[in-house]
A and B are shown apart, each in its own frame.
Chain A
Amino acid sequence: KAGVTQTPRYLIKTRGQQVTLSCSPISGHRSVSWYQQTPGQGLQFLFEYFSETQRNKGNFPGRFSGRQFSNSRSEMNVSTLELGDSALYLCASSLRGQGASTDTQYFGPGTRLTVL
């Protein structure tokens, strides 16, 4: 069974540009979450999607947005990039999502975004 895949793996952008990252969950998984990882702040939750609906959102500005498609694939978009957006962006998928205490989250390899 294929794991969580993320594309692209590496991305270099300049300030002010926008970027779209993609995540394909494990087949059958309906929940997709996004995290930002930086050396200073560690891993921080961005948002979670379940069955095409955003179920939870972290404390990030509105420049960060996402969506989920009917096949559970998810994209996140960052507009008007800032230097501080440079980070490893990780997505995670899980099977049952809501209310399942046994639900293990499986992470993809991440997209390394560098903003110049």
Chain B
Amino acid sequence: KQEVTQIPAALSVPEGENLVLNCSFTDSAIYNLQWFRQDPGKGLTSLLLIQSSQREQTSGRLNASLDKSSGRSTLYIAASQPGDSATYLCAVRGGGATNKLIFGTGTLLAVQP
């Protein structure tokens, strides 16, 4: 059974710092891994999707890496801003004909001005 864990559960950093969020999963047979952002009381915003054959994806100040063999992904945020404050969730999609995502527990990020 696939299990997804995110460390740390919460993180507070001063504005301008670079930071790394971690995601680990127990079953390496995944189709892809997706990083999402969730603002309080809101839905999820997709940030990056990494296919199982890829090693990393970049979008602006965000860079996500994937090491399938070790069951790990990281989300790197450069030059953090107060507007980056949110909960960050990673989710893995297993193989087969399904879009089922298994989510981690999330990292609550606070960027202090």
Q: Please give the residue numbers on chain A whose beta carbons come within 8 Å of chain B beta carbons, in ascending order.
A: 4, 31, 33, 35, 42-45, 48, 50, 55-56, 58, 88, 90, 92, 94, 97-99, 101-110, 112
Contact = CB atoms under 8 A, between A and B. Distances in A.
Nearest to B4: A42
Chain B contact-residue range equals 20 to 34
Contacts of B45: 107
Contact of B99 (A97, A110, A112): A97
**Chief secondary structure at chain A's binding surface:** strand
Given A42-B106, A105-B34, A110 B42 contact: yes
**Chief secondary structure at chain B's binding surface:** strand
B49 A104 contact: yes
Contacts of A105: 34, 46, 99, 101
A107 B41 contact: no
B106 A108 contact: no
A42 B99 contact: no
A75 B89 CA distance: 25
Contact of B36 (A42, A99, A107, A108): A107
Given A48-B100, A94-B99, A42 B34 contact: no
Contact of B100 (A56, A103, A112): A56
Interface string B80-113: 0000000001010100011111111110000000
Contacts of B106: 42
Given A101-B52, A102-B32, A108 B43 contact: yes
A88 B46 CA distance: 18
Contacts of A31: 99
B32 A45 contact: no
Contacts of A50: 99
B100 A33 contact: yes
Contacts of A55: 97-99
Residue of B34, B93, B98, B104 with most chain A CB atoms under a 10 A cut-off: B98
Contacts of B91: 43
A44 B45 CA distance: 17
B46 A106 contact: yes
A99 B97 contact: yes
Contact of B44 (A90, A98, A112): A90
